[in-house]
Amino acid sequence: MSAEYRAPDDPREWLNRAKSNLLQAQARQEGVYLEDLCFNAQQAAEKAIKAVLIHLNVEYPYIHDLAALLTLVGRAGLGVPEAVKEAARLTRYAVTTRYPGVAEPVTEEEYTQAVAIAREVLQWAEEVISGRSGL
């Protein structure tokens, strides 16, 4: 079953992409590096945050720095839960851990935390966009 494509300025399309990345992050297979799975967790969080920014009509730069993107969310007047702010920890998976020898290998614990953080960010973004967040 394939995903339903939406317009690129529709936050639901960004949520679909975030969900796709989260599914990939959770799909452990022999021979796949934890670093690559963590990259997908980072991408899930990044796309979920960008979905919120699109929902809020906030322009954002094409960066992987999740703390900077969450700062834009806060400046737009939307509170960011502490658990979602943890997404800043995922930024390192966007670049440095993807290349051999640049960073230490990702541990099992780091991988588990990365997926949990991405899941939390995605859930928050879905609540914001659907109007269930109490805004």
Domains of the chain: 11-130 (1.20.120.330)
Which phi and psi angles does 95 have, rounded to 5°?
A: -135, -65
Task: Give how far the C-alpha of residue 49 lies from the chain's centroid of Cα atoms, to the nearest Å.
Answer: 6
Give the tokens for residue 80: 């960011």
**What is the pTM assigned to this prediction?**
0.93
Q: Quick one: pLDDT band at residue 1, thresholds 50, 70, 90? A: very low
Q: What does pLDDT average to over the chain?
A: 94
Q: What is the pLDDT, as a whole number, of residue 96?
A: 86
Q: What is the pLDDT, as a whole number, of residue 5?
A: 86
The Cα 61–Cα 4 span in angstroms is 26
Query: Percent of the chain scored above 90 by pLDDT?
Result: 83
Q: What is the residue-wise DSSP string for the chain?
A: -PPPP--TT-HHHHHHHHHHHHHHHH---TT--HHHHHHHHHHHHHHHHHHHHHHTT----S---HHHHHHHHHHTT----HHHHGGGGGGGGGTGGGSTTTSPPPPHHHHHHHHHHHHHHHHHHHHHHHTTT--
Residue, of 112 and 4, whose pLDDT is higher: 112
